[in-house]
């Protein structure tokens, strides 16, 4: 029997007002893993009501106590790590070792954020007037709407939910319809950890009407979204006057210089290009290689890619799992056709294999020009293109030729090359002698250009989910006028 799951509003598991459900498929088997509530505007309104009722008490709870609840959630995530990872692989498709990393990232974020409950740093500064004190403090925003993607169905919600909670906000959470069960498991843990009723509310359902109702809601004070840039642009149009944080796409590149350790670079390209089946916003889909080592590296890469094993992520022999759904599979197939039509040379892969599930062969294109669509547009699949360059300046120009600017990497043993790349590459993240993926929770994460408008993680993640309030205390006993009273 296929289980029917409910939404979580005001501390209760409820059916949607719509009376409708949708299926969630295992991408490796195409079998249903459950039926989920198709939320609508009435459900969002009910969730906002609950969050509003809970806000005053939660925001007045001392931040260290909020942090203790988050720390309990970290401990429960740790205790349930293996079962959560297996369910995540079943629902999303990534190989089990990566699913464990997904859970671990949430654990790390919870531990880090719990500690921030002891800080929530403001700052003190001097006043321009005598007998006057000036400082800033952190205050909660209010009710925040969180919209998360399917590719990191535990980790990415943790980057939003834990900072939002420790800052004293209440939450309406809408996960991707491709991974609603992971969201339910996450909320179950938060409930057991002691998050009070109404503080977090979960509404499952499609982008329209569920996500749209959340974005447009007048009592929602902030929206945090991770997903496609076109959806992000639409959110900006519809959100009205509220705080909007967008983590969007990437068309990330790895530069390999002629002095690079090619074996190390090869490991980075395999991990960046085919980890999570290329379904990361930080995935490395463009490999920009110095012409002196281009052919050598091309051969090394193709030999390894041909040996990657497709299969169910629960099978320990699997290297590359399925894509998330049929649409993603067709998208990768279509981009292969576009690449061939525009003159790129297919070295391996490029096909939908004859097996059940939404699989796609790990693919390598060579002879790619920077203006080709496969070198410009985010594919979100296991498709990598190789670009030859003559020097570092050309490599950096190639890196910066896209509309995105999320993650980047350079492999070199020349410190001048490394620092020039750090300075000149247009990206929110640059790795030296490491791949484009591997964010750490205590550091800011985010991009420039069309990759987004915000930073999550670390202290900047706290800033994202709080308001800064400036406080002046005048103990002079008289009216003083800034910029006027200068005596």
DSSP string, 436-471: S----TTS-B--EETTBS--BSHHHHHHHTEEEEEE
Least trusted range by pLDDT, from 121-135, 288-302, 332-346, 472-486 = 472-486
Range list for CATH 3.40.605.10 in the chain: 7-248+452-471
> Which pLDDT score, from 0 to 100, does residue 172 have?
98
Q: What is the pLDDT of residues 8-59, one digit of tens each?
A: 999 999 999 999 999 999 999 999 999 999 999 999 999 999 999 999 999 9
pTM of the predicted model as reported, rounded to 2 decimal places: 0.97
Mean pLDDT calculated for residue range 316-345: 98
> Which pLDDT score, from 0 to 100, does residue 483 have?
85
Per-residue pLDDT at 486 exceeds 80: no
> Which pLDDT score, from 0 to 100, does residue 485 have?
65
Residues serving a catalytic function are 247, 281
- Going by the DSSP 8-state scheme, the letter that residue 396 receives in this structure is H
- Six token digits for residue 23: 């299926």
Per-residue pLDDT at 86 exceeds 90: yes
Q: How far apart are CA 8 and CA 191, in angstroms?
A: 10
Mean pLDDT calculated for residue range 131-143: 98
Mean pLDDT calculated for residue range 199-217: 97
Mean pLDDT calculated for residue range 122-127: 97
Per-residue pLDDT at 487 exceeds 80: no
* Contacts of 121 by beta carbon, 8 Å cutoff, 6+ apart: 138, 459, 462
Q: What is the pLDDT of residues 218-260, one digit of tens each?
A: 999 999 999 999 999 999 999 999 999 999 999 999 999 999 9
Q: How far apart are CA 66 and CA 63, in angstroms?
A: 5
Q: Is the N-terminal amide bond of 354 cis, ω within 30° of 0?
A: no
Round the average pLDDT of the chain to a whole number and report it. Answer: 97
Answer yes or no: CATH 1.10.1450.10 is held by domain 252-432: no
DSSP string, 250-272: --EEEEE-TTS-HHHHHHHHHHH
Range list for CATH 3.40.309.10 in the chain: 252-432
> Which pLDDT score, from 0 to 100, does residue 1 have?
81
Q: What is the pLDDT of residues 156-165, one digit of tens each?
A: 999 999 999 9
> Which pLDDT score, from 0 to 100, does residue 122 have?
96
> Which pLDDT score, from 0 to 100, does residue 484 have?
78
Mean pLDDT calculated for residue range 352-362: 98
Per-residue pLDDT at 367 exceeds 70: yes
One of 1.10.357.10, 3.40.605.10, 3.90.1560.10, 3.40.640.10 is the CATH number of 7-248+452-471, namely 3.40.605.10
Mean pLDDT calculated for residue range 303-321: 98
Per-residue pLDDT at 154 exceeds 70: yes
């Amino acid at each position: 029997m296929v289980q029917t799951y409910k939404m979580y509003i005001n501390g209760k598991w409820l059916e949607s007002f719509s009376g409708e459900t949708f299926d969630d498929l295992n991408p490796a088997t195409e079998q249903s893993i459950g039926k989920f509530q198709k939320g609508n505007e009435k459900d969002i309104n009910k969730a906002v009501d609950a969050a509003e009722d809970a806000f005053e008490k939660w925001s007045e709870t001392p931040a260290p106590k909020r942090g203790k609840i988050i720390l309990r959630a970290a401990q429960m995530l740790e205790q349930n790590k293996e079962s959560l990872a297996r369910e995540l692989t079943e629902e999303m498709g990534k190989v089990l070792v990566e699913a464990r990393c997904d859970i671990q990232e949430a654990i790390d974020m919870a531990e880090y954020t719990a500690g921030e409950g002891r800080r929530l740093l403001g700052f003190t500064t001097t006043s321009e007037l005598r007998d006057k004190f000036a400082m800033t403090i952190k205050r909660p925003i209010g009710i925040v709407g969180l919209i998360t993607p399917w590719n990191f169905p535990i980790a990415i919600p943790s980057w939003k939910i834990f900072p939002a909670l420790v800052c004293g906000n209440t939450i309406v959470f809408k996960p991707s319809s491709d991974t609603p069960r992971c969201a339910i498991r996450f909320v179950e843990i938060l409930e057991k950890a002691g998050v009070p009723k109404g503080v977090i509310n979960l509404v499952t359902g499609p982008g329209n009407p569920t996500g749209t109702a959340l974005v447009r809601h007048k009592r929602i004070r902030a929206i945090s979204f991770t997903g496609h840039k076109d959806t992000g642009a639409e959110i900006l149009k519809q959100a009205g006057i509220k705080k909007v944080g967008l983590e969007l796409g990437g068309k990330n590149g790895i530069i390999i210089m002629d002095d690079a350790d090619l074996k190390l670079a090869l490991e980075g390209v395999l991990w960046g290009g085919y980890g999570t089946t290329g379904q990361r916003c930080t995935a490395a889909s463009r490999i920009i290689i110095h012409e002196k080592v281009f052919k050598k590296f091309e051969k090394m890469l193709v030999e390894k890619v041909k040996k990657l094993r497709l299969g169910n992520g629960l099978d320990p022999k699997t290297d590359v799992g399925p894509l998330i759904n049929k649409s993603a599979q067709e998208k990768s197939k279509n981009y292969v056709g576009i690449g061939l039509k525009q003159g790129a040379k297919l070295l391996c892969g490029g096909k939908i294999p004859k097996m059940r599930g939404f699989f796609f062969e790990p693919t390598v294109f060579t002879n790619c020009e920077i203006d080709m669509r496969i070198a410009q547009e985010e594919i979100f699949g296991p498709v990598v293109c190789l670009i030859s360059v003559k020097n570092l300046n050309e490599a950096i120009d190639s890196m910066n030729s896209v509309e995105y600017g999320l993650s980047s990497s350079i492999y070199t043993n020349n410190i001048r090359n490394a620092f020039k790349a750090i300075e000149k590459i247009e990206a929110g993240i640059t790795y030296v002698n490491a791949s484009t993926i591997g964010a750490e929770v205590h550091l800011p994460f985010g991009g420039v250009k069309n990759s987004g408008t915000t930073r999550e993680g670390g202290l900047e993640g706290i800033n994202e989910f709080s308001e800064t309030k400036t406080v002046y205390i005048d103990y002079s006993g008289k009216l003083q006028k800034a910029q006027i009273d200068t005596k």
